[in-house]
Amino acid sequence: MAKGVEFEDKCGEIALKQCFSRKLQGDAKMKVAVIYYSRGGTTKRMAEVIADEIKKSGADADISSVSEIEASQLLEYDGIIIGSPTYYGTMAAQIKELLDKSVAFHGELDGIIGAAFSSAANLAGGNETTILSILQAMLIHGMIIQGDFQGDHYGAVAVGKVDKRCEDNCRRGAQRFVKLLKKVKSH
Ligand SMILES: Cc1cc2nc3c(=O)[nH]c(=O)nc-3n(C[C@H](O)[C@H](O)[C@H](O)COP(=O)(O)O)c2cc1C
């Protein structure tokens, strides 16, 4: 079989599987994974605020440190939100490792909603480039990403600590995430 044909067949098969599994789920509550890596607790606190607001907005949220989740478990969710501290302007190696392992399921996260958040020590310390590094991987998976015309445009950021500005943006992002999930799922 020619390579191109094989690729098209595999994509068709995956799309069909997703279609059936979502149909079977029917009106089941949407499930969102909130995954983070955190050494000092700032990114973890952001994850807690985001998961809390996801639940208040009407979806289920499972919060996990990146060490507690396998790449295969990503397939169980309608939405995936990933947070990382800024390490030299990009995601922490632990988050990169999970994303690299997700190659085993390449194509199977197509159409899933994604978002990212980050914390850094300094203003202009690389929060946005860190978020974009995570979103790049999500886009390559075929995931759906929504920006924001107000507030933190790329995803919520903390500078040094989770202050009121940061918490408001975590909650706003979570509310918009669930709103988009509901919109996509209703079609
Ligand atoms: C290896 C390493 C690299 C870092 N690089 C940056 C950086 O480029 N810019 C920045 O503002 N902060 C940087 N920081 C600080 C962390 O991003 C910041 O303290 C973050 O909030 C830590 O998150 P956590 O409390 O969830 O571990 C770095 C910290 C470490 C340990």
Pairing of strands 157-159, 31-36: unpaired
Nearest CA, atom 11, ligand 1: 125
Question: Does CATH number 3.90.1640.30 belong to domain 30-185?
Answer: no
Nearest CA, atom 25, ligand 1: 40
Domain spans, the chain: 30-185
Instruction: Give the nearest ligand 1 atom to 125 CA.
Output: 11
Q: Is the pLDDT of residue 24 over 80?
A: no
Cβ of 86 below 6 Å from ligand 1: yes
Cβ of 129 below 6 Å from ligand 1: no
Q: What is the pLDDT of residues 82-122, one digit of tens each?
A: 999 999 999 999 999 999 999 999 999 999 999 999 999 99
Cβ of 85 below 6 Å from ligand 1: yes
Nearest CA, atom 19, ligand 1: 121
Cβ of 121 below 6 Å from ligand 1: yes
Question: pLDDT category, 28, cuts 50, 70, 90?
Answer: confident
Instruction: Give the nearest ligand 1 atom to 89 CA.
Output: 8
Q: According to the 3-state scheme, what is the secondary structure of the chain?
A: CCHHHHHHHHHHHHHHHHHHHHHHHCCCCCEEEEEECCCCCHHHHHHHHHHHHHHHCCCEEEEEEHHHCCHHHHHHCCEEEEEEECECCECCHHHHHHHHHHHHHCCCCCCCEEEEEEEECCCCCCHHHHHHHHHHHHHHCCCEECCCCCCCCCCCEEECECCHHHHHHHHHHHHHHHHHHHHHHCC
Q: What is the pLDDT of residues 39-87, one digit of tens each?
A: 999 999 999 999 999 999 999 999 999 999 999 999 999 999 999 999 9
